[in-house]
Amino acid sequence: MRSAGVKWIGWAVLIAGLVLYPRLLGIYYTNLFVTLAVFGLYSVSFNMLLGYTGLLSFGHALFFGAGGYGAALALKHLTGISLLTAVGIGLLAAVVLALLLCPLVVRISGTAFCMLHLAFGQLMHMLAMKLRNITGGEDGIGGFPLPAVLSFDMKVPSNFYYFAMAVLGLSLWLMWFFTKTPFGQIQVGVRENAKRIDYLGFRITQTKAVVYVTAAAFAGVAGAIYALFQNLISADSGFHVMVSFAPVIMTMIGGIGSFFGPIWGAAIFQILEEVTSRFTDRVELVVGLILILTILFAPGGLAGLIQYVKQRWFAPKAGLEKAV
């Protein structure tokens, strides 16, 4: 009973904090938080593939960019659609792309899966650059209208913040729910021992395909929100290799296989980038060093580090119990 009460108080504090955040900290930090939340959702969707089914992708930007372009194109060409519909179209674009790739990619795993996605990501980047009349080339699609939601003007940063938080929060909750269903448990089983799951009578390729499409869908939502937030989507902001590497880095820092780890990773990475960019413009150097140091000294990421500290210093005295 007590823990349930604490849990509800925790949720209430979290929601109150999120509601009050733009009033307390101003426009700059509000926008920073939206970016953080977008990449948080994007990384969680990436970790759904990596942490829960063990599939590492170096081309997750495929779906992020598809979502972004989907939403931007819808708002530019279709008049009278609502903002939520545009996000839905972004999601749909990512899902369609994932369904197209599915028959090929669910049959492979490991390094081939990873590299094939890197190649597809590059392919999409190239297409976005070349098909100028649709995608606007390297300038991208910008300045599309942002229709009001419930008569709130979306060009006001704090209004957009609430919209983004609602959509991203709902997506996050849906994914959390998804991993807790019996089907979500099968995913973990596929990662741990695919053969055994096969013998238990579950279909591995189909399981992988469903996870793949779901991960793509939520990456699409993140991309769509990002495009709306920037009011711009371009080949570089949607499909660039660094967009694909961002969730890899954030998940590594936060901790693979922990559901909320990637969000912490996104937060840490965002803050680090914010701080370092004040002193130096060598972002690659900082990112590269972070990756090397993390993998050398804290391969479990932040989640692994916390667990280690817990076991080392805060664990109940296991030794004593044994002695008794």
Judged by CB under 8 A, the stretch of 14-22, 67-75, 279-287, 309-317 that binds another protein is 279-287
Q: Does 122 bind another protein (CB under 8 A)?
A: yes
Q: Which member of 32, 96, 116, 305 binds another protein (CB under 8 A)?
A: 116
Query: From the CA atom positions of the chain, what is the Rg in Å?
Result: 21
User: Token pair of 98, please?
Assistant: 């994932």
Q: Which member of 120, 212, 218, 269 binds another protein (CB under 8 A)?
A: 120
Q: Does 118 bind another protein (CB under 8 A)?
A: yes
| Shortest Cβ 288–another protein spacing (Å) | 3
| Shortest Cβ 232–another protein spacing (Å) | 23
Cβ distance to another protein smaller for residue 100 or 318: 100
Q: Which member of 27, 285, 309, 315 binds another protein (CB under 8 A)?
A: 285
Q: Which member of 5, 201, 284, 319 binds another protein (CB under 8 A)?
A: 284
Cβ distance to another protein smaller for residue 90 or 121: 121
Q: Does 123 bind another protein (CB under 8 A)?
A: yes
DSSP secondary structure of 41-66 = HHHHHHHHHHHHH----S-THHHHHH
Among 59, 213, 212, 77, which Cα is nearest to 133's? 77
**By CB under 8 A, how many residues form the interface with another protein?**
38
| Shortest Cβ 123–another protein spacing (Å) | 5
Judged by CB under 8 A, the stretch of 30-38, 138-146, 154-162, 278-286 that binds another protein is 278-286
Q: Does 180 bind another protein (CB under 8 A)?
A: no
Q: Does 109 bind another protein (CB under 8 A)?
A: yes
**CA-to-CA distance for 51 and 161, rounded, in angstroms?**
29
| Shortest Cβ 119–another protein spacing (Å) | 6
Among 28, 59, 39, 31, which Cα is nearest to 212's? 59
DSSP secondary structure of 213-281 = HHHHHHHHHHHHHHHHHHTEE-HHHHH-HHHHHHHHHHHHHH-TT-SSHHHHHHHHHHHHHHHHHHH-S
Cβ distance to another protein smaller for residue 180 or 282: 282
> Which residues within the stretch 37-66 sit at the binding site for another protein (CB under 8 A)?
50, 56, 58
Cβ distance to another protein smaller for residue 18 or 129: 129
> Which residues within the stretch 187-216 sit at the binding site for another protein (CB under 8 A)?
none
- Residue ranges of alpha helices (H) inside the chain are 2-53, 61-77, 83-105, 110-130, 132-135, 157-180, 182-192, 194-199, 204-230, 235-239, 241-254, 261-279, 283-297, 301-309, 318-323
Q: Does 305 bind another protein (CB under 8 A)?
A: no
CB-CB contact of 34 with 164 (8 Å): yes
Cβ distance to another protein smaller for residue 16 or 119: 119
Cβ-in-10-Å burial (0-12, 13-18, 19+) of 257 comes to middle
Q: Which member of 287, 302, 303, 304 binds another protein (CB under 8 A)?
A: 287
**CA-to-CA distance for 279 and 311, rounded, in angstroms?**
37
Please, what's the b/e burial string for 61-90 (b: 16 or more CB within 10 A of its CB; e: otherwise)?
bbbbbbbbbbbbbbbeeeeeeebeebbbbb
> What does the binding site for another protein look like in residue numbers (CB under 8 A)?
50, 56, 58, 104, 107-112, 114-116, 118-120, 122-123, 126, 130, 241, 245, 248, 252, 256, 282, 284-285, 287-292, 294-296, 299
